């Protein structure tokens, strides 16, 4: 069980062979690494499932290997996206092994042992989140990292201090850890070292990221969406060939905008950034990093509030409207994306 989707294992992977599983996408949501939040967003699970399926099938048409096997319809059959008659929240996938790095304390700091990952290992999830940035919209983590001196303009490939909303001349490729207690941005050199990748494989990862970015950008443009940034996860199959795993091209994996307005999980983040709970989360993460404490949530003295009911309805409609627009099929009974964005703008104007 994850914070937003559950995994059903049909056939376990072995050391050398992939297994079979099914993602059950839920209406749960998560922000700021908290895990399950106190309420649910109706229609979100099915919307994510269908957006992900559509994008996986587009990647496969371009010859990009993925772990996607199909959608599970109401009769329990595995079908392709075009064969689906009504929304589903179940996706069938191939499974690989997940080897978790071992946490330990050294010098009062929390560290991780990644020695399990070697260039000879096969059939495993690469322990990285791999990120592309086509622009730097307001809320991008890049601004906070620059401000804190955690990254330099040179490392980002920039020759000037960027402004919120700036379109980049060429995409920035970023990388963070995936299987630690909290995601941690790292350099590509460290990414290669901890994940057991060769130099050639790191180059292949970046080339694959570029191909996925271009494909999602093309899909988004046809529906009026702008693909600002996004993340992918990768694995090696039983022959140590790269493949795209988890899910891609959804409102949770990508930061899309429509006519300059966020159409993604960023809407929930914007709401929660105004709460006392968010301040407590940031404080707890900072203290945990300083003291070498693995469970930062144990230092957080407050729980997240529920979403404003009106905003929750708008977010629900946004997920379903985006799925209709992205896939060019009216799968959900929801207002158009333009109407939903207009509702959100009006909601924000009321709050100002």
Its domain, for residue 139, covers: 98-351
Does the pTM surpass 0.85? The reply is yes
Give the model confidence (pLDDT) of 25-52 as tens digits. Answer: 999 999 998 989 999 999 999 999 999 9
- The answer to whether residue 1 scores a pLDDT higher than 70 is no
- Which CATH number covers residue 294? 3.30.470.20
pLDDT tier, 182 (very low <50, low <70, confident <90, very high otherwise): confident
Lowest mean pLDDT among 203-207, 265-269, 291-295: 291-295
How many residues are listed for the chain in this entry?
352
Q: Taking Cα atoms as reference points, which of 189, 314, 185, 306 lies closest to residue 262?
A: 314
Q: Is residue 142 part of a domain?
A: yes
Q: Is residue 174 part of a domain?
A: yes
Average confidence (pLDDT) over 246-265 = 92
Lowest mean pLDDT among 70-74, 186-190, 294-298: 294-298
Q: Which two tokens stand for residue 235?
A: 């694995």
Q: Is residue 341 part of a domain?
A: yes
Q: Is residue 11 part of a domain?
A: no
Q: Is residue 111 part of a domain?
A: yes
Percent of the chain exceeding pLDDT 90 equals: 82
Give the model confidence (pLDDT) of 305-314 as tens digits. Answer: 999 999 999 9
Rounded Cα distance between 131 and 128, Å, is: 9
Q: Which two tokens stand for residue 262?
A: 């966020």
Distances (CA, A) of 46 to 23, 51, 71, 138, 234: 11, 9, 11, 28, 23
Q: Which two tokens stand for residue 1?
A: 């069980």
Give the model confidence (pLDDT) of 81-109 as tens digits. Answer: 999 999 999 999 999 999 999 999 888 88
Structural domains counted in the chain: 1
Res 317: pLDDT: 97
Rounded Cα distance between 57 and 82, Å, is: 10
Rounded Cα distance between 326 and 336, Å, is: 11
Rounded Cα distance between 296 and 270, Å, is: 22
- Per the DSSP assignment, residues forming a β-bridge with 233 are 245
- The answer to whether residue 289 scores a pLDDT higher than 80 is yes
CB 206 within 8 A of CB 154: no
Q: Is residue 88 part of a domain?
A: no
Per the model's pLDDT, the better-predicted residue between 264 and 228 turns out to be 228
Res 165: pLDDT: 87
Q: Which two tokens stand for residue 184?
A: 């941690």
Q: Is residue 318 part of a domain?
A: yes
List of residues 6+ apart from 294 with CB closer than 8 A:
103, 110, 181, 288
Rounded Cα distance between 340 and 334, Å, is: 9
Average confidence (pLDDT) over 204-223 = 97
Q: Is residue 342 part of a domain?
A: yes
Lowest mean pLDDT among 71-75, 178-182, 208-212, 322-326: 178-182
Q: Which two tokens stand for residue 289?
A: 């990093």
- The answer to whether residue 293 scores a pLDDT higher than 90 is no
Rounded Cα distance between 12 and 201, Å, is: 26
- The answer to whether residue 325 scores a pLDDT higher than 90 is yes
Q: What would the DSSP string read from start to end of 31-71?
A: -TT--S-SS--TTHHHHHHHHHHHHHHHHHHTT--BSEEEE
pLDDT tier, 137 (very low <50, low <70, confident <90, very high otherwise): confident
- The answer to whether residue 264 scores a pLDDT higher than 90 is no
């Amino acid at each position: 069980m994850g914070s937003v989707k559950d995994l059903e294992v049909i056939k376990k992977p072995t050391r050398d062979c992939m297994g079979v599983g099914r993602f059950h996408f839920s209406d749960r949501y998560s922000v700021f690494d908290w895990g399950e939040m106190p309420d649910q967003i109706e229609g979100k699970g099915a919307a994510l499932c269908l957006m992900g399926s559509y994008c996986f099938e587009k990647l496969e048409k371009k010859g990009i290997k993925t772990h996607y096997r199909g959608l599970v319809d109401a009769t329990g059959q595995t079908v392709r996206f075009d064969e689906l008659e009504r929304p589903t929240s179940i996706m069938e996938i191939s499974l690989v092994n997940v080897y978790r790095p071992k946490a330990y304390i050294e010098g009062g700091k929390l560290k991780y042992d990644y020695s399990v990952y070697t260039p000879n290992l096969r059939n495993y999830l690469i322990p990285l989140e791999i990120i592309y940035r086509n622009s730097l919209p307001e809320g991008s983590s890049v601004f906070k990292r620059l401000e804190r001196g955690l990254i330099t303009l040179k490392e980002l490939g920039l020759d000037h201090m960027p402004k919120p909303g700036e379109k980049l001349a060429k995409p920035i490729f970023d990388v963070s850890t995936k299987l630690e207690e909290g995601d941690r941005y790292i350099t590509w050199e460290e990414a290669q070292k901890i994940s057991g990748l060769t130099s050639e494989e790191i180059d292949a990862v970046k080339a694959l990221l570029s191909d996925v970015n271009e494909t999602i950008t093309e899909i988004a443009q046809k529906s009026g969406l702008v693909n600002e940034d996004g993340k992918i996860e990768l694995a090696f199959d039983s022959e140590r060939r790269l493949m795209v795993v988890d899910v891609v091209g959804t409102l949770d994996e990508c930061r899309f905008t429509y006519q300059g307005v966020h159409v993604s999980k960023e809407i929930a983040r914007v709401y929660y950034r105004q709460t006392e709970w968010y301040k407590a989360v940031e404080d707890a993460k900072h203290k945990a990093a300083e003291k070498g404490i693995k469970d930062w949530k144990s230092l957080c003295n407050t729980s997240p509030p529920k979403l404003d009911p009106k905003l929750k309805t708008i977010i629900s409609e946004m997920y379903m409207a985006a799925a209709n627009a992205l896939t060019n099929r009216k799968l959900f009974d929801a207002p158009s994306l333009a109407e939903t964005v207009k509702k959100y703008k009006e909601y924000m104007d009321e709050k100002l």
